[in-house]
Amino acid sequence: MPRNLPDEPRPRDPNSTPTIAERRRLLDVNRAAAMFYRRELLRAKKSWARTYLTDAGVGEVLDPGSSWAIGYAPDSRSRLVDSLRSRGFDLASVRNAGLGLLDPDDRTIDRLRDHLILPARNERLETVGFIGMRTTTAPYYMASPASQVYRRSNALVGVAEQLDLLSEGAVPVLVNHPVDALAVERISRLSIGRWAGIPLCDTLLSVQQAALLARYTSADTAIVAVPHAAAAQRAATGFLDDLNRFFPRIWAVELPSMFPDGPPHDDQTAQQALHDALLVTRPLSDYRRPKQRRPRRQDGPASEAPGHGPEL
């Protein structure tokens, strides 16, 4: 397993501005990591990741020609690090990109292990980081740490994969789970290309992400998928302020679940339900909870509690 060398440079401050050479090196190592993760998914025939995608009805992403570069981080201490080292990348660059970390013995090991991997891209659609997903009773996510080229709030998943749809007028549909995003895209391609699914993966939308999305979207509308729980619906209205800067119309939609433990994605009835739901939207602002007015303060002595007379 690769060890740190005594003369290796100290980790770069993620808040510092990279030189042109540093930026190129970080982009190159992320690009190589994306290829590694993709290759691991395609050849891991018996992994839970392949089973999960197939059961979710999105097995088309396992086609080598898929536009979605979804990958798999193997359950290994340093398989990615070893692969990147064999391609000429130094350990400092691997760690600075957020792909590796030090173990107690000062060995550089893989940061993401046994995760489905989604590449996150910046405003230039360059791969700058990754979001790993695991699932037990519910999905949870682990993102690359901040680096000189990556902030989770400055990158999105799914834009590059659906660039053709977005440039031709498809409306972005902001969902949480990647399976829902893939389901929306599939319905769109089976019909007339009305929508593009953008997964946020438990991230609150930022103004930078809204700007990135608008940069590659020709439509003047965005749709936010809202959960069925009332509290979560009100929380989704937090997207309004940032989206309104770039999209004149912000709509909301309540989608049926496309998770593997729900209706199968490739079932015709489930697909029809998803298609029909996407056609029924309403203003996202409708979910905003009206502000409660405070009672006016009355002057004079405090009133006595009802039902009690003066005490002797």
CA distances from 129 to 27, 38, 57 (A): 9, 14, 26
Cα distance between residue 288 and residue 295, in whole Å: 21
Per-residue pLDDT band for 307 (boundaries 50, 70, 90) equals very low
Alpha helices in the chain (DSSP H): 20-43, 48-55, 79-86, 91-96, 163-167, 178-190, 207-215, 230-236, 240-243, 268-278
The tens digit of pLDDT for each residue in 102-147 reads 999 999 999 999 999 999 999 999 999 999 999 876 788 999 999 9
Please state the pTM of the whole predicted model: 0.85
Structure confidence at residue 302 as a pLDDT band (50, 70, 90): very low
**Burial, 292: exposed, middle or buried (Cβ in 10 Å; 0-12, 13-18, 19+)?**
exposed
The pLDDT value recorded for residue 56 is: 85
Res 1 pLDDT > 80: no
Positive/negative CA dihedral, 165, 253, 212, 181: negative
Give which of 56, 148, 137 is closest to 93, Cα–Cα: 148
Please, are residues 193 and 165 in contact by the beta-carbon 8 Å criterion?
Answer: yes
Conformation bin of residue 144: beta by default, left when phi > 0, alpha when psi is -120 to 50:
beta
Residue 267: count of CB within 10 angstroms of its CB: 11
Structure tokens at 293: 């007015």
Beta partners for 100? Answer: 110
Q: In the prediction, which pLDDT does 11 show? A: 67
144 and 95 Cβ atoms separated by less than 8 Å: no
